[in-house]
Structure formats: structure tokens, C-alpha cells
Amino acid sequence: MTRSKPKPPMRRADQLAALLERMRQRPAELDAPPDSPRGRILAAASREFADFGLAGTSTRAIAEAADVNLAMIHYYFHSKEQLYVRVLAREFLNFWDAVYQTVDFSMTPGDLLPSIPVRVMSVMRASPPWAALMRREMADGGKHLVQAFRLLGEAGPLGLVDIFSAVHGMGITSGELRRLPSDPVRECIIAVMFGTMVLQPVLRDLFDRDLEDDAVWTEWSKTVMSVLKHGVAAEGR
């Protein structure tokens, strides 16, 4: 009996490409055409929730903004809370699409890892509604964001964790990155990425440094990238 040869292990570069492709698979329920009733409801709800938060938004206001019958919101989404979770999930996908288009994933891990936070913050800076949603949701404890991310599965942050681990492992193997535990490095970078943008109104008023100012943003982004790069780089690099 002839034994089949075992498949060679997937190269990390191929693994990264596969992970990126997997993250591009959007859940069908969040991909409604913009001119469809579901699409109009999601778009209107995004604006209303960003402006007034979950508690301050009524389904009647969303229905009027979307030009649909109020009953359609309950038909498609069952409740305001479930609609809110889907808005968060959908806005994350739009946010990730914008980040994906600005990141060069062919860069070496030593350059790629510290560049991603700045790319993420740049997209957040250019997307005030997403930043507003994030601030309001985090102020409420973030439980709906967790539900949204679970809904997305590997198309959301759970997929980003796998991408981060692949890039981090590639960097350690190549000798570009120091052998630091992957989880704390990941959490530190996430804290820098989102913490800065969520706290921006406080930082602006406290230190009189507004990231909306192009000169401040340029100085700040270069500094953050330098700090991150030197923090994760292997000795001698």
C-alpha cells in the first residue's frame, strides 16, 4: 500500500495571505445594497447612533431617516439593540476595508507591525462617525462591541488576532523582532491604536494638542511609529 506524502507545512507568507483573504469574507446579512430597505436602515442607524448613542436614538427616528415603515426595523432586526450590534459590526467592516487599502502587507514584519497602528489611527481620524461610535460604546462598557465582534467571527478582530500572530511569528523567525510574548505585544498595540483616538477629546483639551491639526498629526504619527518599531525590534536593528 502506497502512503500519500504528507503535505508540506504552509509557509508563513502563504498563511498570512490566506488569513487576509478570510477576513475579506463579509457576513451576508451586513452586505445589504445601499438602496434596499435594509441598507437604508443600516446607513440611517449608523448616523443616528453616532450622533446620539444607543440610549438617545429611537427606532422611529431611524425609520424616518431611512424613509421606511417602523415595522420594517423590527422585521429585519427585531430590536433596537440588535440593530445597534449590526451597525457596529458593519461599521467595523467598512473601517477594516479602509485600513486594508492603506497597508502594504508585502513589507517585512519589522516594518509592517509598527506601521499598522498608525494606519488604523489615520483611518479613524478620517472617519469621525466611527470614532464617535467607538467613544460612545466604550463609555457604555463595550458589551455591544463584543457582541458585534463575535458576530463577525474571523471577518472581525478575531481574524486580526490570527494575522497579528502570523506577522509577529514571521518577524521573530527572521530575526527582525525580539522574542516577546505575542499576547501582551498585541494588547499593547491595540491600546495605543484605539486608546489614543477614543481619548482624543480629553487629550486635546488637557494638552492643547489636536490630532485634527495636520502638523500635530504628522509629528505624533512619526513618533508613535518610531517608539513601536524600536520597542519590538530585535537588538542591533
- Write down the mean pLDDT value for the chain: 85
The model's confidence at residue 71, banded by pLDDT at 50, 70 and 90, is very high
In this prediction, residue 10 carries a pLDDT of 45
Confirm if 159 and 22 have CB atoms less than 8 A apart.
yes
Between CA 216 and CA 97 the distance in angstroms is: 26
In this prediction, residue 9 carries a pLDDT of 44
**Nine cell digits for residue 147:** 457582541
Nearest to 202 by CA among 122, 145, 139: 139
In this prediction, residue 58 carries a pLDDT of 96
**Cα 8 to Cα 2, 5, 11, 12, 80, distances in angstroms:** 18, 9, 9, 12, 49
Torsion sign, CA atoms 209, 213, 215, 220: positive
Tell me what the mean pLDDT of segment 68-97 comes to. Answer: 92
**Degrees, nearest 5: CA angle 51-40-68:** 100
Nearest to 170 by CA among 100, 224, 234: 234
The model's confidence at residue 99, banded by pLDDT at 50, 70 and 90, is confident
Q: What are phi and psi of 67, to 5 degrees?
A: 60, 50
Tell the CATH superfamily of the 17-24+85-232 domain: Tetracycline Repressor, domain 2 (1.10.357.10)
In this prediction, residue 196 carries a pLDDT of 82
pTM here is: 0.83
pLDDT in tens, 146-196: 999 999 888 888 888 888 888 888 889 889 999 999 899 888 888 888 888
